[in-house]
Chains A and B, each alone.
Chain A
Amino acid sequence: MNLVLFLFILLFSVSLYFFSKSRIGYFASSKQFKLKALPKYYAYYLSLWCALPALIILVSWNILEPAIIKNLIFSKIQTDSLKAISKDELNLIYQKIKAYYTGNFSGQLDESIKLGAEQYKRLLSVAASSKVVVFLSAIILFSGLALRNISNNVHAREGVEKIIRIILFTSSVAAILTTVGIIFSLLFESIKFFTTINFFDFIFGTSWSPQKAFVSDASAELTTAQLKELSEAFGAIPLFAGTAFIAFIAMCVAVPIGLFSGIYFAEYASTNVRKFGKPIIEILAGVPTVVYGFFAALTVGPFFRILGESLGLEVSSESALAAGLVMGVMIIPFVSSLTDDVVNAVPQSLRDGSYAVGATKSETIKKVVFPAALPGIVGSILLAVSRAIGETMIVVMAAGLAANLTINPLESTTTVTTQIVMILVGDQEFTSAKTQAAFALGLTLFAATLVLNFIALRVVKKYREQYE
């Protein structure tokens, strides 16, 4: 249906373009005015005015339609039944009606659901036919308007350019809309979460066991004892600690290797080594994270377990060490290429001064180049840290699920991202505190990476200005 309308408007406006392009001359002479722009601009003007409003109507209609139908059904159910129905129950009934309508309903069939489905069907058909009517009348109305403007001798090129500028501006606002969408979707569920669970219980609690949230019935009022139990189930400290710990292990691998290889590439390497070595290392950055996860879970993890067994150590097959190590490997190219850039940006005069007083190359690097490049390097390491804490697949596949508060790298730990995935994969109930907890975790993750990125970008920018 939507596709047909879309293709229709596409075809219609394209044919309108070619038609009006060839006819605009006659039109102008019959109306006795002189064209101010090339004929093709008049054609653009017409077809844009014909297509754009109709498309906007089509898109917004599709966005709004489900919500409106839902509300109509809700009010119908509400007036049919004598007693008040809670929002959750209404949602449930609505889901049942929809399932019945699409034909994959299973379970107890209610008479009221059958009736509701009939009403749903009726509403859908009304919506569909009125959509077509509104769509077509919009096309006629706006093309008529455009035609009148043209006969009033409007400057077509300026009109078209104005529309283009508006389209360009709207596209750039998409970035803001995305951020707003992220914040809205995260905040909306998080606020619901924080109405049942105290914010400080979440941030400072030391025990994480979200499965407890399913013990109590979500729709029933919670007793104080249950509430207390719930508030103790969502202590996020083990997750924060696990995330920080794995990120720390990753940085222990990535920083030395990345730093030394970056410095080597910038200061020592011959052109050939640079030409071939750098792209090969950057392959590591292009490999999808799920591949690292597979590698960590099936190769590195078991390898550490066998190694540990032979040394008489107890190593969990999903250890923080394996996940952190592999994550570190993933981050190496990130640190190395940023270091390379930053070190290259240090002015040659500093090096020349150091050589002139007799320092060797390594002494120059250690005592002059490195301190000068330090702010940039710190910035790049911060960016790497923010990547490490936001990384998902490696930890999901290799770090384990149990929320242990531990600093033993051989045990399994869990992270914020792992828990989000574990909670949200599969079927969710949006009324459950467990599901909302995932959004609260997402919000903390978003905030943390935002702050880290902000600081890092600031540091890097400041540093750049220093040498420009």
Chain B
Amino acid sequence: MNKELRRKKRYQAEKRFQLYGIIAISLALFFVGLLVFKVFSDGTSAFSRTMIKLDVTFDANKLGITNVNDKDEVDNADYYTLIYEEFIKSYPFSNREEEKQIIKLLSPDYEFEAKNYFLKNKDQLNKTVTLLLTASDDFDQLHKGNFPRDIPEDRRRLSNYQLKIYDQFLKDGKVEKIFNNYLFSKGDSRDPELAGFGGAILGSLFTILICLLISFPIALAAAVYLEEFAPKNKLTDLIEININNLAAVPSIVFGLLGLGILLNVFELPRSTPLVGGIALSLMTLPRIIIPARASLKAVPPSIREGALAMGASKVQTVFHHVVPLAMPGTLSGTIIGLAQALGETAPLLLIGMVAFVVELPGSPMDPSASLPVQVYLWSESAERGFVEKTSATIMMLLGFLIVMNSLAVYARQKFEKKWN
């Protein structure tokens, strides 16, 4: 009987042990799910933008335009007053305070939106058209249902009066949601409804491009040297130890390197993708060398021996036969290394890529942000509009990473030869 009991206990222990493993895996999977769910549930609303319809007459007198073809006049016309006066008419107000509250429902850029519309449709002079103007962040968030309405007025961003206007607008069909093209085409802004990650995407692209241009050739050459040419001596050992250690150095140290050497000694321009790319390329270097060496090593010696037997020189053997065969593995390692560099933030913070940049960067020498830095910058802002923008930026970043990693897997599976 005692034996029976012990066996039962042992089997229970076995079951329990398995259960621990399953719990651990489910917990890890749960975290993945939670992260993805949180980002998507917060971020999807950022891809739409709330607009308010407004009937406007482009009155030549009010705008001060005498000749539509005079570029100067059209450029400097008073769109601000036109829209302002038209918009406050859309709801009755009794004092200056309420007037202010009405105009605050519009994003401060309405002047330029009206101007841009008019520049494209100059024939609309003295005609009445329905304009779609970007709503302010608070209005936008209210319409998307991110602001609760039933809390006391002093804790809300919108007053009771503004809520009444919103309800009226909604009833009149003046509110419309459109696709948020600003998100992709604009740089940073203090107003969430006008902010976009277009500048950050360009900055990231430039950074990754610089990183690729520097790290890939050097890493490939270093891997080829170490795997094919290096004699077994102290120097080679030193290089190998260095590479293995560099792969594990915290990324922020590369930021310090960039700050101390690239900015202070070489006086390269601050906050630019050029410096960011160089700093990241130093970080990526060992992360490409290691997989590149592994795939060079995987090429069987018979290939080399065959080439040498046909009279090829050592360099010819390596560059005509070994390197092309090792290319799929090397490329997939490079893509994975670049994907890590794309998500890296800390080194970029130290070399000053945290600047508030409104304009889109035109070259790697212009100050700019990058996608992960944009996430950091916006997550520090209090406005609710920036929370959804941050999540949208994360979605974009994760999208890029998924594409790059699948590309790496594809490159490996499709082109890599199996030697058996």
Q: Could you list which residues of chain A lie within 8 angstroms of chain B, going by C-beta atoms?
A: 63, 66-67, 157, 160-161, 164-165, 167-176, 178-179, 181-182, 184-186, 188-189, 256-261, 263-265, 268, 277, 280-281, 283-284, 286-291, 293-295, 297-299, 329, 332-333, 336, 360-363, 365-366, 383, 386-387, 389-393, 396-397, 417, 420-421, 424-425, 430, 438-439, 442, 445-446, 449-450, 453-454, 457
Contact = CB atoms under 8 A, between A and B. Distances in A.
A277 B25 contact: yes
A176 B313 contact: no
What does DSSP make chain A's interface, helix, strand, loop or mixed? helix
Nearest to B373: A290
B256 A420 contact: yes
B16 to A, nearest CB: 8
B225 A169 contact: yes
A295 B350 CA distance: 22
Given A63-B266, A288-B345, A172 B257 contact: no
Contacts of A453: 244-245, 248
25 contacts: A63-B266, A161-B313, A161-B315, A172-B222, A172-B225, A186-B253, A186-B260, A257-B27, A257-B28, A261-B28, A264-B24, A290-B345, A291-B394, A291-B398, A294-B394, A332-B31, A390-B251, A392-B251, A392-B345, A393-B346, A420-B350, A425-B354, A439-B256, A442-B256, A445-B252
Given A184-B261, A257-B24, A421-B349, A171 B249 contact: no
A392 B346 contact: yes
What does DSSP make chain B's interface, helix, strand, loop or mixed? helix
Given A165-B315, A182-B249, A290 B259 contact: no
A264 B345 contact: no
Interface stretch (B7-15, B88-96, B162-170, B190-198): B7-15
A65 to B, nearest CB: 10
Which interface residue of A184, A286, A298, A386 has the most chain B CB atoms within 10 A?
A286
Given A286-B343, A386-B250, 13 more contacts: A164-B319, A175-B289, A260-B21, A261-B28, A288-B401, A291-B394, A297-B379, A329-B31, A360-B14, A390-B252, A421-B346, A438-B256, A453-B244
Contacts of B260: 184-186, 188-189, 439
Given A175-B286, A362-B14, A386-B248, A290 B343 contact: yes
Given A167-B221, A360-B13, A174 B252 contact: no
B132 interface: no
Interface residues of B, number: 86
Interface in B193-232: 217-219, 221-222, 224-226, 229-230
Nearest to B347: A392
A420 B315 contact: no
A258 to B, nearest CB: 8
Contact of B315 (A164, A365, A424): A164
B309 interface: no
Interface stretch (B65-73, B76-84, B97-105, B235-243): B235-243
B239 A173 contact: yes
B335 to A, nearest CB: 12
Given A175-B246, A257-B27, A293-B379, A425 B239 contact: no
A280 B255 CA distance: 30
Interface stretch (B32-40, B51-59, B146-154, B300-308): B32-40
B401 A286 contact: yes
A157 B345 contact: no
Contact of B25 (A261, A393, A439): A261
B18 interface: yes
A157 B350 CA distance: 46
B18 A280 contact: no
A264 B18 CA distance: 7
Contact of B397 (A265, A281, A291, A366): A291
